[in-house]
Amino acid sequence: GDLDKVVNLLLSLSGRLARVETALGSLGPHAPAEDKLALREKQRLLLAQLEDAKELKEHVGRREEAVGAMVARYLPAEHLQDYQHFVKMKSALIAEQRELEEKIKLGQEQLRCLRESL
């Protein structure tokens, strides 16, 4: 459960940071200074939060290793491999699900913009 939460947090922060950086890049030279300042401050905060989330992921990873070592003592090799595969795939699937949700959201936004332009 913690792994799910941390992976979702990392993906969410990364997405938000990417959107802020895109917004910063799209500001023209005549954009108000307070807009640039606000976006840079948001970027700084998101970077700090992303670093904290990475530390959380490392902590969860160390806990996962400890749990894996304990589980290894009680499971036969075949079941242990299944367990290890499950843990690895769970993170990958969470990331893939989040990416697909973002693509759907982007597609819906593009569709909305197209409808408005018609």
- Note whether 20 and 70 are same-domain residues: yes
Q: Say if residues 25 and 111 touch (Cβ distance below 8 Å).
A: no
Q: Does 110 lie in the same domain as 65?
A: no
Give pLDDT, residue 24. Answer: 87
Does residue 42 sit in the same domain as residue 11? yes
- 6 plus 61 within the same structural domain: yes
Q: Give the orientation angle of helix 2-26 with respect to helix 77-117, to 10 degrees.
A: 30
Range of the domain at 51: 1-74
**pTM of the predicted model as reported, rounded to 2 decimal places:** 0.67
Same domain, 63 and 12: yes
30 & 54 share domain: yes
97 and 113 together in one domain: yes
* Co-location of 61 and 20 in the same domain: yes
Residue 112: C-alpha distances to residues 20, 48, 102, 108, 116 (Å): 21, 33, 15, 6, 6
Cβ burial 51-62 (10 Å sphere, 16+ → b, else e)? eebeeebeebee
pLDDT computed for residue 45 by the predictor: 96
Residue 102 has a pLDDT of 84
Same-domain check for residues 81 and 70: no
| Mean pLDDT, each 10-residue run in order, the chain (118 residues) | 82 89 86 90 96 93 88 90 87 84 88 88
Same domain, 24 and 47: yes
pLDDT at 65: 87
